[in-house]
Amino acid sequence: MKIGLDIGSTTIKCVVLDENENIVYKSYERHMSQITQKMTELLLKIKNDILGGASAQLTVSGSAGMGIAQTCHLPFVQEVYATRIATGRLLPDTDVIIELGGEDAKILFLTGGTEVRMNGSCAGGTGAFIDQMATLLNITPDEMNQLAGQYEKIYTIASRCGVFAKSDIQPLLNQGARKSDISASIFAAVANQTIAGLAQGRKISGKVLYLGGPLTFLSRLRFAFDTALQTTGICPENSLYFVALGAAYSSIEDIDLDKALENIASYGNQAAFLFIPPLFENEAEYNEFKARHAANKAPRGDISAYTGRAYLGIDAGSTTVKAVVIGENGEILDSVYRGNSGNPVPIIREYLLELFHQYPALRFAAAAVTGYGEELLRNAFELDYGIVETVAHFTAAKHFLPDVDFVIDIGGQDMKCFKIRRGAIDNIFLNEACSSGCGSFLQTFANTLGYDIAEFAEMGLFAKRPVDLGSRCTVFMNSSVKQAQKDGATTEDISAGLSVSVVKNAIYKVIRVSSAEELGRNIVVQGGTFLNDAVLRVFEKEMGVHVVRPDISGLMGAYGAALYAQSKSNGQEKSSLISLDELKDFKHEVKVTSCGLCNNHCRLTINIFGGNRRFIGGNRCEKPVTKRSGGGSELNMYAYKLDQLLSYKPVAGKRGKIGIPMGLNMYELLPFWHTFFTQLGFEVVTSGLSNRDLYIKGQATIPSDTVCFPAKLMHGHVLSLVENDIKTIFYPCMSYNFDEGLGDNHYNCPVVAYYPEVISANTAVLQKLTFIHDYVGIHRRKDFPKKMAEILSQYFQDIDEKEVKAAAKAAYGEYEAYLARIRAEGDRMIQQAESEKKPIIILSGRPYHLDPEINHGIDKLITSLGAAVISEDVVSCRVEHFPTTVLNQWTYHARLYAAAKYVGGKPNMNLVQLVSFGCGVDAITTDEVRSILEKNDKIYTQIKIDEISNLGAIKIRLRSLFAALEQ
């Protein structure tokens, strides 16, 4: 008989074949990291119940099987090869295999050249990711599958990072979104992530095979792949066992099972993992540590005897809800700390009912709320104030350490770190791209290993050999933990090691400091995660400082909100908080719809409270609330520029249609090219504004997962033109931009300059069309007509240089007129903002940041906070070329430096910089802009954006900026 073992990251699969290669035994079970134990049980069962003393051939495969096979001298076959062998035997006409496992994802192309694509540094979108999302929703994966079949709306959810996806899901839960819609959205995200991240431009077509546990057990996940690929894939019989079958088919060597079992037992007793020194050497050292931190206590009061004005603070966090009641002297009268179960509304209602029933004399003078669920709870219970998280935590920190200069808060799935300068929040660090190392990171591992978080945390305090796990993707950290377990690490060692990873993620991935001096000397740590003594100990040891951890570390957001409510109440006697009778009759209804008042088409969650009060979540602007469809008196240069570009309409011409993809530098050069081709007699058709559907349309042709989001969108724009039956598309390569005299040179960045080459090489449909992507230099005004005439003559027979010269003259004229209109309107907006005493934000980025799909409505968010939004090109022209500390050779970056220089001399202006993930030179740009602004004592905020941007973090940054300006 032939035995095939597939030892994966989370499961172990086994098949036994008889001499005719029929399956006589198969098993599939999770090994819960007890790999050697499960292997032993399986092989003993096969030996005793199946073989009956007969000899057998055995081969091992799977992502976790290689080390065991090598050490135990067992035959091994690589899992991709095993899959290929099984497919060739059972389904030889297969074209593509998509396989999802516990922590790995693979696409195998079998026709047109065999090739395998696998996930590398991230395990987002795999089975472990789906398990984490099910845990977040407080349901099983099977229940998530059933709910997904009842969906009505698909939300945009990140699947690139397992924990970061929670930052998309948690606000949806807090806003009342249906779990059925979120479940379907998770599956859609997994499908899109797998296709975009692994296919990378290679088309998935023909007979598609679905393998692996997630695709076998989750029918709605298969449906999501079918929808994304516009095909109907096949999930074959024994789809769970293809790797094990391939291993069995490959077996040619007789194995002594008794010897194999002996070797496996020996393997399980090894201890070969990396470890670090213990957190505490002895009990006395721990007692000193405990005594030092026990001194940081918040004052307490007796709520049953209290008769004065009381103040309520609520922190609706990502995974928990905290509430604090304080008296007039800041003493804590009562508090609560509970998991939010995806919806904080019923929890707060229950808590308020308890308070009103138990303490009928309690009189609230004011109430404030902060956190993810701030707007939901404020509207639900008519609370007096909403406060941004950073300000709430800073307010609480000052109560314990008046001269605090650095605060770090690690919550369930977010980190907030901020520096204090002159009594105001000056610089904010948020985990915008990854949430590995937050509280839910520890919670997930504790639950996986069968412990509650408090018990699990305590186990690591006196671990002899804390595992050195480094700082990695949360989903992949599972593999490191499991490997350490296999190598002999105890649960205590793992608990301590995970605490170290939390701190290293915070320091080196989020704060990115090189020394403790960069943080400051007066540090307050808070958040539920710092209640873990192991985490606190590691932080102090890593940074070489003693810090203040209040005894209400997990309640600091709520405590700060209560203090804020007290400071804002100005002696008022009664809060606007709803009454006891209203609480008794309180009802919460949720509806989902889409807004059609602009091109964003935001998916709205409408919360209805008590039958007549409404709160709308998911909107990027005020239009769904005010019903205004646009216009108004907003001082928003981004909106004005976008309207200007949209005014360039197609004009019928004698030479037919020519398409221009609306992305990257076309957001600035459209006036030039539209005028140029219109003058030549073409009807210029653009691809329109970006949206999620357009992005999905082009993702199968994207060859790089790390290129910036604006570049990824260009694939969809080109395909949109093709679908609109445009036979000629113009998208030129441009090494240089116009020389504005602001820098040492005037290059376009390499992506902007040469991305047409990428589009041409990876979009097969363009081979049947006319795709003009020649190298063009509009910066050479005298040479341009001749060069352009030569280019166009390759595609059109009847265009002469004279026509091109006339068209070029008109194009240069229109481009200059467009810039003049922009600057004139910018001047008018600045003057109006100054007369109305409004703060002015120079929202600096690239021309393509006008795209609503790229900027995520940040411009509208800023104007909703009461400021004017001006683009950098309005003010950069007011600055002459000045020396910088960098090679200032990029046109768009030179504008940023010039805008920063200008802002430095204007007391009513501050700068927000938009940065796209994947832009390789942005780190240099950021440092230079920061140095220019800080020399002029300006507060600087940078926002990183891409297709999975954390909109909650973006909002925190902007609201914190405005709070700092007020301070």
Q: What is the pLDDT of the chain when averaged over all its residues?
A: 85
CATH code of the domain occupying 415-547: 3.30.420.40
Question: Which residues, 6 or more positions from 350, have their beta carbon under 8 angstroms from its beta carbon?
Answer: none
Max mean pLDDT among 127-136, 510-519, 793-802 falls in 793-802
- Report which of 903, 877, 860 is spatially closest to residue 823, judged by C-alpha positions: 877
What is the pLDDT, as a whole number, of residue 588? 81
Q: Which fold has domain 819-966?
A: Rossmann fold (3.40.50)
pLDDT at 633 over 60: no
pLDDT tens digits, one per residue of 318-341? 678 999 999 999 999 999 998 776
pLDDT tens digits, one per residue of 815-867? 999 999 999 999 999 999 999 999 999 999 899 999 988 888 889 888 988 89
Q: Which fold has domain 309-401+558-584?
A: Nucleotidyltransferase; domain 5 (3.30.420)
Rama region for 601: left / alpha / beta (φ>0; ψ in -120 to 50; rest): left
Where do the DSSP E strands lie in 595-660?
603-609, 613-617, 657-660
Question: Which residues, 6 or more positions from 744, have their beta carbon under 8 angstroms from its beta carbon?
Answer: 887, 888, 889
pLDDT at 524 over 50: yes
807, containing H or E segment = helix 801-835
Rama region for 230: left / alpha / beta (φ>0; ψ in -120 to 50; rest): left
Average pLDDT over residues 179-203: 85
When mean pLDDT is compared across 26-35, 176-185, 350-359, 483-492, the lowest value belongs to 483-492
Where do the DSSP E strands lie in 50-122?
56-61, 96-100, 105-109, 115-118
712, containing H or E segment = helix 709-723
Domains 309-401+558-584 and 819-966 agree in fold: no
pLDDT tens digits, one per residue of 138-173? 889 999 999 999 999 888 776 555 555 666 777 677
Placement of tokens 């990873």 in the chain? 501
Q: Answer whether 27's CB lies under 8 Å from 14's CB.
A: yes
- Report which of 895, 919, 908, 907 is spatially closest to residue 867, judged by C-alpha positions: 908
Q: Which fold has domain 2-79+246-268?
A: Nucleotidyltransferase; domain 5 (3.30.420)
Beta strand 909-916 pairing with 840-844:
parallel
pLDDT tens digits, one per residue of 425-439? 877 777 655 555 566
How many angstroms separate the Cα of 76 from the Cα of each of 6, 18, 610, 829?
10, 20, 64, 70
Read off the DSSP letter of residue 908.
T
User: How many angstroms separate the CA atoms of 115 and 736, rounded?
Assistant: 37
When pLDDT is cut at 50, 70 and 90, the band that residue 711 belongs to is very high
pLDDT tens digits, one per residue of 591-622? 777 777 766 666 677 778 876 777 776 665 66
In Å, the largest CA–CA distance within the chain is 94
pLDDT at 191 over 50: yes
State the DSSP string of 414-478.
-EEEEEEETTEEEEEEE-SS--TTSHHHHHHHHHHTT--HHHHHHHTTT-SS-B---S--HHHHH
Domain ranges, ordered by start, for the chain: 2-79+246-268, 96-235, 309-401+558-584, 415-547, 588-626, 637-814, 819-966
- CATH of the structural domain 96-235, one choice from 3.40.50.300, 3.30.420.40, 1.20.1260.10, 3.40.50.740: 3.30.420.40
User: How many angstroms separate the CA atoms of 966 and 600, rounded?
Assistant: 31
When pLDDT is cut at 50, 70 and 90, the band that residue 733 belongs to is very high
Q: Which two tokens stand for residue 432?
A: 């915008």
When pLDDT is cut at 50, 70 and 90, the band that residue 630 belongs to is very low
- Report which of 845, 811, 812, 847 is spatially closest to residue 663, judged by C-alpha positions: 847
Separation of first and last alpha carbons in the chain: 77
Helices (H), 110-199: 127-137, 141-148, 165-174, 179-194
- Report which of 589, 550, 895, 964 is spatially closest to residue 746, judged by C-alpha positions: 895
When mean pLDDT is compared across 117-126, 527-536, 897-906, the lowest value belongs to 117-126
What is the pLDDT, as a whole number, of residue 200? 74
pLDDT tens digits, one per residue of 336-370? 998 776 678 889 999 999 999 999 999 999 999 99
No. of helices (H) and no. of strands (E), the chain: 36, 29
